[in-house]
Structure 1
Amino acid sequence: MDVKVFATVFITIFLAELGDKTQLATLLFAADKEVNKWTVFLGASLALVACAGIGVLLGQYASQYINEKWLNLIAGGGFILVGAWTLWRA
């Protein structure tokens, strides 16, 4: 395992997920006094693992047809558009 890649992915995803809608939804589910917190944790964890798996599979598939440089440019452009749209709607 490449520890540098692992650390980069972990830190990037961890910071991206802090305070996002997924974390807030999980917080709200866990706030229910009648809900088992381990059930919320396991459900949220499995959902995130499934989403990450889909991302890895789509990334692997896309990389067979699109140059890595172009994938980075497309992803970066997408983030810029989402950020601009968010600022415009604010």
Structure 2
Amino acid sequence: MEAFLVPAGIVALGEMGDKTQLLALVLAATLRRPIPILLGILVATLANHAAAGALGGWVAALIGPQWLRWVIGASFLAMAVWMLIPDKLDDPQAGQRGRLGVFGTTVVAFFLAEMGDKTQIATVALAARYPDIVSVVMGTTLGMMLANAPAVLLGDRMAHKLSMTWVHAIAAAIFAVLGVATLMNVGQLF
């Protein structure tokens, strides 16, 4: 259960104010079709995080437990620092409809936006940390949906009511605690 809940919480917090959440706002404002947008986010996230989870599992098997602990600990600490850097939407035209329709546009835009993003890197690290990769991917996907569904459904009204600075600080603190606990080999804590 931990391999599901920890990733869900980390990604839900980490995604707040992220470029993909901003993309969700843009798609919702321009395409105005929440159900295909939400389904597109779900499909893109499952595909992206499944690949990231497989990579994390492969890395865990490749480098062995001692080196893995240091790599994961350092990765979590790097993620803590990265969380403190605000994201901006890279391509404001990403939400335009094009030939793919609302669902296809969302799948492509979200899949590409997640490449190398904090939540994808976090999924790799979490999948390396927890041996239950399916639970990790399901957790990170749930976290992504928890953060992006309100953005799609409530639009930019939500963005003005949350302090992204505090949300990012809380997520950074969680990553820092995970990093220190991993480096100190505190396996029973998480």
Does TM, normalized by the shorter one, top 0.5?
yes
Specify the TM-score bucket, using the shorter chain as the normaliser: 0.7 to 0.9
Separation (CA, whole Å) in 1 of partners of 2:79 and 2:40: 28
Residue matched to 2:33: 36
Is the counterpart of residue 45 in structure 1 residue 38 in structure 2? no
C-alpha distance 80-17 of structure 1, shift in aligned 2 (>3 A): closer
Structure with the bigger RCO (C-alpha within 8 Å, sep 6+) is 2
5 Å-filtered alignment, 1:8-87, equals 8-32=6-30, 34-66=31-63, 67=65, 68-76=68-76, 78-79=78-79, 82=82, 86=85
Separation (CA, whole Å) in 2 of partners of 1:79 and 1:21: 15
The Cα RMSD (Å) is: 2.4
Separation (CA, whole Å) in 2 of partners of 1:57 and 1:79: 19
The two structures have a TM-score, normalised by structure 1, of: 0.73
Instruction: Give a deviation string over 1:29-61, Cα, whole Å, max 9, x none.
Output: 1112x5422111111121111121111100011
The two structures have a TM-score, normalised by structure 2, of: 0.38
Separation (CA, whole Å) in 1 of partners of 2:35 and 2:55: 30
Separation (CA, whole Å) in 2 of partners of 1:14 and 1:81: 17
C-alpha distance 83-40 of structure 1, shift in aligned 2 (>3 A): closer
Residue matched to 2:141: none
Structure 1: any 5+ residue segments left out of the alignment? none
Structure 2: any 5+ residue segments left out of the alignment? 87-190
Separation (CA, whole Å) in 1 of partners of 2:77 and 2:9: 21
Separation (CA, whole Å) in 1 of partners of 2:4 and 2:81: 27
